[in-house]
Amino acid sequence: MSDSNEPEVVAHDREIDLESLKALAHPLRVKIFDVLSTYGSFTASGLAERLGESSGATSYHLRQLEKHGFVREVAGKGVGRERWWERTPGGINLGATEAKKTSAGREASQLVMREWSSSRERNLAEFLERGYDELDDKWGEASLVSLTNVFITAEQLSEFSQRYMAMVSEFADLHRYQKTPGSRPVQIQFHAFPVIDGEEIPSDDTPEGETTS
């Protein structure tokens, strides 16, 4: 259950347009967005310390992220000129058709996805290297690192991905804002994609010796 002291939040997934995607596509902005997503609210100076940047740089990029709706100021938190920032609630979708149609959109999307991938790989590697030594046994027993190989069609992959996202979104909506004793930041990582150097099995009406494109 979520913390009863947290306000009711109705979060909707957002389809990112090309202008907003290009605004996000800066390595430091992606890192700021990722930190706020993973750990919760920060000040510009707190982000600067964590990311090894100047507070002037994090302040500037926070304002740019705010301009495009990726982050927002935490109401009622902070003293004097100190401002706390949080990620705007709701998921984001980088696969907007508008963005895919342009080389600028594809390049921006690839930059964001590379930064995210590097961050997730780093977090997983740190867990595998240090988690079982530094965390209580209950966290190791509750965690799961898995890989499953299957032969499926694009339609079956799409169906599975939609079912997975519905399940994980429901779970995240229940627990995203809880600050109950014993809770800590947890990432739920999942990858499902075709193996690029594998071959697609031809349909029965494909001439022998040819493959589908």
Q: Which fold has domain 14-135?
A: Arc Repressor Mutant, subunit A (1.10.10)
Tens digit of each residue's pLDDT (9 = 90 or more) over 3-28: 333 444 445 678 888 899 999 999 99
**Rounded Cα distance, 59 and 134, in Å:** 33
Give residue 14's pLDDT. Answer: 81
Model confidence at 57, in pLDDT bands (50, 70, 90)?
very high
Alpha helices, DSSP H, located in the chain: 18-24, 27-39, 44-51, 55-67, 97-100, 103-126, 132-134, 137-142, 154-175
Does residue 203 register a pLDDT over 50? yes
Task: Please state, in angstroms and rounded to a whole number, the distance separating the CA atoms of residues 33 and 38.
Answer: 9
- Look at 212 and 51; give whichever has higher pLDDT: 51
- pLDDT tens readout for residues 151-199: 999 999 999 999 999 999 899 988 888 889 999 999 999 888 899 888 9
The three-class DSSP label of residue 99 is: helix
Counted residue by residue, the chain has a size of 213
Question: What mean pLDDT is predicted for residues 71-83?
Answer: 85
> For residue 173, what pLDDT is reported?
87
